Amino acid sequence: MYKLKVISSTVRPGRKGPIVAAWILEVARQYGYFDVELLDLGEINLPLMNEAKHPSLREYEHEHTKKWSAVIDEADAFIFVTGEYDHNYPAPLRNALEYLVHEWGYKPAGIVSYGGVSAGTRAATNLKGDLAVFKTVALPEAVNLPFFTESINEQNELVVNDISKKAAKTMLDELLKWTKALKPMRSGD
């Protein structure tokens, strides 16, 4: 079974990202082809990048970096769950990306974005461009949730429409194909 890391990117008090992340986490678990783990940047709480040496050297001195490296290195694929702040994805996600270099490489990524009228698509577009620098393959298939707060019920669960359910299934289908295709690149086969 392939290891899929769902990364929830928001950290501010009152954030709704974990609700969106919980929804896609459950969808990915039910999909059945991935061993799914949630990585909530609000709980992981990485400080601003504080390693003395460039991450391309993989000579980490801090325990939080070593742990972050290990959890990302073991992944076969990612789903980034991102809100949109000022037409971009949250700074804690950029910080988490920049802690590492090699660990992100040759792995596919789906994106679940959420927001108001734009559904977080500007954040997703910027994230896709930045992921390319890390040799992470950002898929064009994505889930974009407009006015997402209207879909949160009284139990603080996200209830999505059939269009979003279909988008999630399509994204996971593509994520599985790319995960299978890229695995030999990482193993040297």
Ranges in the chain, pLDDT < 70: 188-189
Supply the pLDDT for residue 187.
Answer: 78
Rounded distance, CA 136 to CA 80, Å? 12
Are the C-beta atoms of residues 180 and 116 closer than 8 Å to each other?
Answer: no
CA-based nearest residue to 143, from 6, 41, 35 = 6
Look at the block and give the residue holding tokens 């270099």: 101
* Contact assessment for residue 139 and residue 110, using Cβ atoms and an 8 Å cutoff: yes
Classified as helix, coil or strand, 125 is helix
What is the model's pLDDT at position 31?
A: 98
pLDDT for the residue 172:
98
- Strand segments (E) across the chain: 2-8, 34-40, 77-82, 107-115, 136-138, 143-146
Task: Identify whether the C-beta of residue 78 lies closer than 8 Å to the C-beta of residue 103.
Answer: no
Quick one: pLDDT at residue 27?
98
Whole-prediction pTM: 0.96
Domains of the chain: 2-187 (3.40.50.360)
pLDDT at position 186: 86
Q: How many whole angstroms separate alpha carbon 159 and alpha carbon 166? A: 13
pLDDT of residue 188: 67
Interatomic CA distance for residues 99 and 65, integer angstroms: 7
- Helix, strand, or coil here: 177? helix
Place of tokens 């977080």: 120
Residues whose CB is less than 8 angstroms from the CB of residue 20 and which lie 6 or more positions away in sequence, other chains included: 8, 81, 112, 114, 145, 148, 158
- Distance from C-alpha of 129 to C-alpha of 121, rounded to nearest angstrom: 13
